[in-house]
Chain A
Amino acid sequence: MQIASHNGKPFSFSPEAQAEVQQLMAKYPESRQKSALIRALHIAQEENGGWLSIAALDHVAEALRITPIEVYEVATFYTMFNLEPVGKYVLEFCHTGPCAIEGAERLINYVQKKLGIETGQTTPDGMFTIKEVECLGACGYAPMMQVGLYYHEHLTEEKMDRFLEDCRAGKIDKGSWKMH
């Protein structure tokens, strides 16, 4: 995986995010504040439109007083971090074993066809990105996807149709990593 090829727009945390990151750092002993990195990256990604630009990564490094490389090596390791721009709603379909035998492949094919994009692509209107991810721990409620912080389970083609409409109507809550 590569870091984004461009810096993205300038980024800095909102005042509330800045305050939250300060609180996160206080959960760890003196000089161990690097532990707040992953959660700080979740917040940065949320505030940067769903992905982490180099500008966002550099800002997180500054906020945690660590070097940029320490942030890059973490951002490139974990699959939840998007290193390229994504749509407003990232549909993360589980495609691992139990979901697969309950029809995940067929459902993903359906959504790809409906939106006219492949996995990893974003619709031209910037609304949807399809991602396929590994087991999300919803095996009894398959097939399923994650959008933002929340799971959507027992999916069917009809449910997906309604869900996509609800997204366009602004009725879907993605949740927030800044809930305090």
Chain B
Amino acid sequence: MSRKLLLEHAHIEGINGYETYRKHGGYRAVEKALKNMAPADVLEEVKKSGLRGRGGAGFPTGMKWSFLAKPEGVPRYLLCNADESEPGTFKDRYLMEKIPHLLVEGMILSAYALGANTSYIYIRGEYSWIVFILEKAISEAYAKGWLGNNILGSGFDCDLYVNPGAGAYICGEETALIESLEGKRGNPRIKPPFPAVKGLWQCPTVVNNVETLAAVVPIVNEGGDNYARIGVGRSTGTKLISAGGNINKPGVYEIELGLPMEEFIYSDDWCGGIKNGKRLKACVPGGSSVPILPHYLVTKTAAGENRLLSYESLADGGFESGSMLGSGGFIVYDEDQCVVRNTWNFTRFYHHESCGQCSPCREGTGWMEKVLERLENGKGKLSDMDLLVEVAKKIEGNTICPLGDAAAWPVASAIRHFRDEFEWHVREPEACMQRNYGLVKEKAEMA
């Protein structure tokens, strides 16, 4: 069985409370760090661990931390990105609900390494009940002396607060998150300056995903070298994968990076195969933004090698035949699902969530949505596919933040791999609509 570093104790009754968490080794890493390690030592262990950002971009965490500017007399901030809104992704929610103290502990360690005395957890507003789970854990940590002033007599002060959003995917982008935390609209900032230099209230700031910060706990406990032994190549450690769609066992799984896709989808230890004995049609392995993989590229790469759940293997083949590990939002489609309808759905999402600052994204996402809607509803033209690819190209790389790319990639990849299905929508629209959830019949019945 695979090793668990984050969710090892998640099934234990009462682990969301302080006493049980502590009994199972909780806050041992804070004791170790604050008593025996300098902040630079913690940073060194994180660098050695090879930990990469678990929110989607996969940027090395130790390197991100080392960019933090440290001007004299200016406060530094650590922000936890708990805005988890990428369709398909529900792993951070699971971690925060089940084992909130792990995040609190990881944030104390990270804040210590960075010399940040005030930290905030920015959580999406819809996870409203989790706000109170986290605040309970935080108040327990204060009561037991793990937060507050002069923790364990080390001289290190650490305050931690929770700040909810109110429904905006864009606030998962780190500069939009900062704007929102400042009490403004979530409009991403132009970079540079990067948050490491000018972030929250124009002070040096590090923004890390929930899972990234939680992973600092086992890294400090076991040492960065030991963490790096798990996984494959530059994909070290474990990763939470939230699996959904047409599988027998949807849920949140902690895998060792490098697990074969075949095993993850079909083994009863994991997703348990495709629901109702159907066949696999496609998979979006890293959240709605990453390119879709048709069934023949899911378990094997174009070169014929086994496809693994790792940053490198999923990206193998580039955008021609690969995808991305992304956030770990793993969506599986069976043979009955319609790629056109699904692409339209995702594009509507990006259009709704575009902040509207950059014209290519604001206009382009709406344009793509309209074209996809007419294709799905039997009013498309054969030239629409080239039009969509053209619009996607004009969005990609031409916006302040990555939302534009995130909107363009699913469309471009769906047409690359499923052009025949798009064309079928133009040639035989009635047949398509009949297949798609029998909506023609149902609409007629409702009228």
Contact = CB atoms under 8 A, between A and B. Distances in A.
Interface of A: 27, 29, 32, 34-39, 41-42, 64, 66, 70, 73-74, 77-81, 95-98, 100-103, 105-106, 109, 113, 133-142, 146, 149-151, 175, 177, 179-180
Contacts of A151: 129
Interface stretch (B22-30, B161-169, B399-407, B416-424): B161-169
B300 interface: no
A42 B437 CA distance: 37
Given A135-B349, A139-B88, A78 B129 contact: no
Contacts of A77: 168, 185-186, 355
16 contacts: A34-B183, A38-B125, A38-B165, A74-B185, A77-B185, A80-B125, A97-B349, A98-B245, A109-B442, A109-B446, A134-B353, A136-B126, A137-B84, A138-B93, A139-B331, A141-B250
Given A96-B346, A97-B346, 14 more contacts: A32-B182, A38-B183, A39-B164, A41-B166, A42-B164, A73-B184, A96-B288, A101-B245, A102-B244, A106-B442, A134-B349, A137-B127, A139-B245, A149-B128
A79 B168 contact: yes
Interface of B: 75, 84-90, 93, 118, 124-129, 132, 135, 161, 163-169, 180-186, 201, 242-246, 250-252, 284, 288, 329, 331, 333, 337, 341-342, 345-346, 349, 352-353, 355, 437, 439, 442, 446
A38 B244 contact: no
Contacts of B182: 32, 34-35
Given A97-B288, A106-B442, A139-B329, A73 B250 contact: no
B interface, by DSSP: helix, strand, loop or mixed?
Answer: mixed
A41 B355 CA distance: 20
B446 A113 contact: yes
Nearest to A31: B201
Contact of A140 (B132, B180, B250, B337): B250
B337 A101 contact: yes
A73 B374 CA distance: 33
B203 to A, nearest CB: 10
B128 A177 contact: yes
Given A36-B183, A39-B164, A101 B333 contact: yes
Contacts of B442: 106, 109
